[in-house]
């Protein structure tokens, strides 16, 4: 394992311990609301602090973009860590066992290392650019599925910003008819890890943040899948809109979405 990925794994496992400990007594959680349907707990904050402390021991100057504490470190560093300490907070608060720690590192703007860790199931998804993607040390690949009507597709419902809800529902309706099924598990980073490991054949969501997508996107490309924005271009980390899947399923998802691309959904 690349030494940088090893540090990222160490950080994710530390965060995972904090999350698992807290999951034993969710009745005790103090929950605050950042904005409508956007929750944060002291667990999100403690997990993020543990991740950043771990990374800082080895990389004191790297830039960091983390969901709860924002930007820190040397802004002009060639290296940037992109961190979601607890992806799926709403699930976590409800004891719904689908949440993860997501940590990615980009070098000169290109994703280089990725960890998505599901602490409840002890599933560790990792990837380094050019070195493949793994689940607990076993190589993973996207599924071999080629037909949309046989594909299981993941998504995230709009629940915070409702600007695109009509376009979303139209796409949802069409995909409900044209796929084998749609799932909305509630932690985008894990959804992407599931595409990388062949549990899902494709995924789409609008309005995500870079920390929801960065690690999962590298897992998918290292597992032989494709990831893009709604225009089929690589700017999903900036637009927040993502489509991905096995090469054939990805192409068909883009086709279904194409007629709905306008305004903020142009890319």
Instruction: Give the footprint of ligand IPD on this chain (CB under 6 A).
Output: 84, 87-90, 156, 186-188, 205, 208, 212
- Minimum Å gap between C-beta 89 and Ca ion is 5
186 binds, among Ca ion, ligand IPD, none (CB under 5 to 8 A by kind): ligand IPD
Interface residues for Ca ion in 49-68 (CB under 5 A)? 67
Toward ligand IPD, which CB reaches closer, 73 or 185? Answer: 185
Q: Are strands 123-128 and 110-118 parallel, antiparallel or unpaired?
A: antiparallel
Q: For ligand IPD, which residue has the nearest CB?
A: 156
Interface residues for Ca ion in 165-204 (CB under 5 A)? none
Which residues 6+ apart lie within 8 Å of 113 measured at CB? 2, 4, 5, 8, 104, 105, 126, 127, 128, 129, 218
- Minimum Å gap between C-beta 92 and ligand IPD is 8
Toward Ca ion, which CB reaches closer, 212 or 229? Answer: 212
Toward Ca ion, which CB reaches closer, 67 or 191? Answer: 67
156 binds, among Ca ion, ligand IPD, none (CB under 5 to 8 A by kind): ligand IPD
Interface residues for Ca ion in 74-103 (CB under 5 A)? 84, 86-87
Q: For Ca ion, which residue has the nearest CB?
A: 87
- Minimum Å gap between C-beta 99 and Ca ion is 9
- 118 lies in the binding site for Ca ion (CB under 5 A): no
Toward Ca ion, which CB reaches closer, 93 or 267? Answer: 93
> Does residue 103 contact residue 11 with C-beta atoms inside 8 Å?
yes
* Residues pairing with 52 in the sheet: none
- Minimum Å gap between C-beta 81 and ligand IPD is 16
- Minimum Å gap between C-beta 40 and Ca ion is 8
Toward ligand IPD, which CB reaches closer, 4 or 214? Answer: 214
Which residues 6+ apart lie within 8 Å of 234 measured at CB? 227, 228
For Ca ion, the binding residue among 212, 214, 226, 239 (CB under 5 A) is 212
Toward Ca ion, which CB reaches closer, 105 or 151? Answer: 105
Toward ligand IPD, which CB reaches closer, 201 or 212? Answer: 212
Q: Are strands 152-155 and 202-205 parallel, antiparallel or unpaired?
A: parallel
The contacts found for 137-142 with CB under 8 angstroms, 24 or more apart, are 140/196, 140/197, 140/198, 140/219, 140/223, 141/197, 141/198, 141/223, 141/224, 142/195, 142/196, 142/198, 142/201, 142/220, 142/223, 142/224, 142/225, 142/245, 142/246
Applying CB under 5 A, the residues found at the interface with Ca ion are: 67, 84, 86-87, 212
């Amino acid at each position: 394992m690349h030494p940088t990925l090893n540090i990222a794994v160490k950080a994710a496992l530390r965060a995972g311990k904090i999350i698992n400990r807290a999951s034993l007594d969710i009745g005790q959680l103090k929950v605050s609301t950042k904005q409508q349907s956007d929750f944060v707990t002291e667990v999100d904050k403690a997990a993020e602090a543990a991740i950043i402390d771990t990374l800082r021991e080895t990389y004191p100057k790297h830039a960091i973009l983390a969901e709860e504490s924002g930007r820190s470190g040397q802004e002009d560093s060639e290296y940037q860590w992109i961190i979601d300490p607890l992806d799926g907070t709403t699930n976590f608060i409800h004891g719904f066992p689908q949440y993860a720690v997501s940590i990615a590192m980009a070098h000169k703007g290109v994703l280089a290392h990725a960890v998505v860790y599901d602490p409840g199931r002890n599933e560790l998804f990792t990837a380094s650019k050019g070195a493949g993607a793994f689940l607990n040390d076993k190589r993973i690949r996207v599924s071999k599925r080629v037909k949309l009507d046989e594909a299981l597709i993941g998504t995230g419902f709009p629940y915070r910003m409702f600007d695109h809800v009509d376009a979303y529902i139209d796409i949802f309706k069409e995909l409900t008819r044209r796929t084998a099924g749609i799932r909305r598990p509630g932690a985008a980073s894990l959804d992407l890890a599931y595409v990388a490991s062949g549990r899902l054949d494709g995924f789409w969501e609008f309005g995500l943040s870079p920390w929801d997508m960065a690690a999962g996107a590298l897992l998918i490309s290292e597992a032989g899948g494709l990831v893009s924005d709604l225009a089929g271009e690589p700017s999903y980390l900036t637009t927040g809109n993502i489509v991905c899947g096995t090469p054939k399923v990805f192409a068909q998802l883009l086709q279904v979405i194409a007629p709905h691309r306008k305004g903020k959904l142009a890319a």
